[in-house]
Amino acid sequence: MVQGFSTDVVSLPLVVARRTYAVAALIVLATALVSALAVRRRLDRIDLVGALKAQE
């Protein structure tokens, strides 16, 4: 994106700090945790006996 916005008149530097990687990692971990909890909640609600008796 930086290259796309840079022109002959304006040059935008690309600066990526360590904090950026830390924030991205925390967002990914939080999203994975929320997703795992949602899946776990749905799995706990499944009626296993009814699901196993059901015809395909």
Indicate the pTM of the whole model.
Answer: 0.61
Domain coordinates in residue numbering, the chain: 17-56
| Confidence class for position 3, pLDDT limits 50, 70, 90 | low
| More confident of the two residues 38 and 3 | 38
Q: How many degrees, rounded to 5, is the angle at CA 36 between CA 35 and CA 40?
A: 120
Contact 46, 54 (CB under 8 A): no
Cβ neighbors of 14 (< 8 A, separation 6 or more) are 2
DSSP state letters, 21-34: HHHHHHHHHHHHHH
